[in-house]
Structure 1
Amino acid sequence: MTVVTFPSKIISHLVKWNPYNEQYVKRGEMMKKGKLKRWHKVVIALVIIVIILIFLGTYFLFNFAFKRGGYSTQVGEKVNTTWIKKQNPQVWHQTNKSGLKLTAYYLPAKTTTNKTMIVVHGYGSTGHKMNNYIRMFHDDGYNVLAPDDESFGRSQGEYAGYGWKDRSDIVTWMNMINQKMPTGRLGMFGISMGAAAVLFTLPKAPHNVDFAIADCGYNSIYDELKYELGTLFHLPTFPILPIARIYGNVFAKYDFYAANTKQTLAHNKIPLFIIHGNADKFVPVKDAYINYQNDHGPKRLWIVNHATHADSFNKEGHVYVKKTRAFSEQYFK
């Protein structure tokens, strides 16, 4: 029998190579830890990149929805303003709490009256573009004041107030009327964003506001933005709206999460007439029912068949004039 012997150097090498040798085990563990650290760094870097992209994307969407010259310029309808311009309305100004100069147009009634309608425009519109509604109330024998909301028309400002920030400005306009006409009576009318502004303003309204008419107004800014995110961009609410809320507080100087009619109509006793088209794809008709349910004063609801957004006047002009006239005549004191 032949005995095979290995040189001591080979034996020594095999002993060192033993995978269970403590030195090799430690080296393997260090390599694994190194790989894990590298993966951790890669994952963290990717997470940071995703977060940055989300914040940048939300900033773009925020500016698109809120900033002057954004989406509002795309949805602003073309309206014939020939009539209101021919009337040569008075141009009023106020400087609001943000130090911005705002503009409004005042058209006295043909026959002297102490009754004035405040007509508030929608998103992407202006006071002049409320031409048809100004004419309607003027024909009914009322004075009419039509403001340009902050960041719209001739009024200064960079960010839309969506009716929430505008409410204090609307109260200021009404106080200006009251200074000129101490025994006057006021009615409020708004369409779309202007309707929401009216609904948001009611708790702050002066004592001489006799009624309000809201045509296709949303129940909350949050719900409206959520709806638009889904229909226009097919995007989720989270994390976009929470981040947009931060931008809103920083740049637009207000918290749009706070704007909802559940709060503002909770104790309302001013008579309210809600109008909405059942084919509205911009502010869904469910908002009309929510606003109606949230209100606790004298109220009426008119759902206009086949009317799209802000289209009820065009769809049912004669009936529209008749119903709004009856409501104003009933409640104007």
Structure 2
Amino acid sequence: MHGELMTIGTFARASRLSPKALRLYDELGLLTPVHVDPHSGYRHYAPAQLERARLVAWLRRLGMPLARIHEVCELAPGAAARALAAYWAQVEADVAARRDLAAFLVDQLERENTAMTAPQTPSTPLTMRVAALTDRGLVRPANQDAAYASSRLLAVADGYGPRGGPAATAAVEALKALEDQDLTSADLPAVLEEAARRAHRAAPSADESGSTLTALLRSGARLGLLHIGDSRAYVLRDSGLFCVTHDHSVVQSLVDEGRLTPEEAASHPQRAQLLRSLEGGADFAPDLQLLEAHPGERYLLCTDGLTGVVPAETIQDVLAGAATPRQAVAELVRHAHEAGAPDNVGCVVGEVAAAA
């Protein structure tokens, strides 16, 4: 029997896998030896296992997680090819997303460096030209989105459950008092978080109603960003359109873990299920950031009724081409309608400009 088998050393050389890797794959059930000596524990493999071993080696070179490799190796060749194509599409999407984030961070740091090294001159006072719009869509019986825009505050909220509409409205209302406060940039995250916490404490807890909340509060040239849920915030700059929030949803967590591709996430049955939101009894854990605003930039805050059906490329084209924020929000809602508008749509656009 042993004469027909390959020792672990011989098999390792033939498969281009190290003996250490082969022992790990045996423990994981990924590549189990045909025979293990009961006395020495020495592993022996069949020549027919080389094809699977080489596939494992190639997939590891691609960076595929071991759990995903196990799934692919159990499939028939055609299904395995489709699974590999889906995995690589996900890798490319992830790289593109990281590239966009890296470009945004490079741009942000270069701006901060310029601000630190430039001669100290009084900064140009800024204002924001704004517009907000919500729409019931073409399918939902009621509109549970809320949107608000002023020269200092942009906010959108997406309500869900029987009392989702009032929850979204209350979330936005909780922030409006901040417009009249004289705040420094250091105050922005703290006051936003406390206002959202008040909305969270007031949220319904008995009927699974709640709301997302994404908001920008301006103090001079600084913008405090608060985000919880799966509504989004984007900024359009000369260097492109960047999404500056991360969805707090079940499907996004599965994409982050490599268990779903972005394409699969778009049609996943749990795509509306949130991990974080303003819901009574749920954990309160918003994301908080500070951004530096510059004249000419446009900020978009929107609910998933827009991003779920309108591609990012279209959103960028609308934001770049609209003459005014009011035209931009109207165009974005129109594109949602053209895509079927299966959900409520809420969007706010703010354009940073030098004060007159």
TM > 0.5: no
RCO (CA 8 Å, sep 6+): is it higher in 1 or 2? 2
The answer to which structure has the higher helix fraction is 1
The answer to which structure has the higher strand fraction is 2
Give me the TM-score of the superposition, normalised by structure 2: 0.29
Give 1 or 2 for the bigger CA radius of gyration: 1
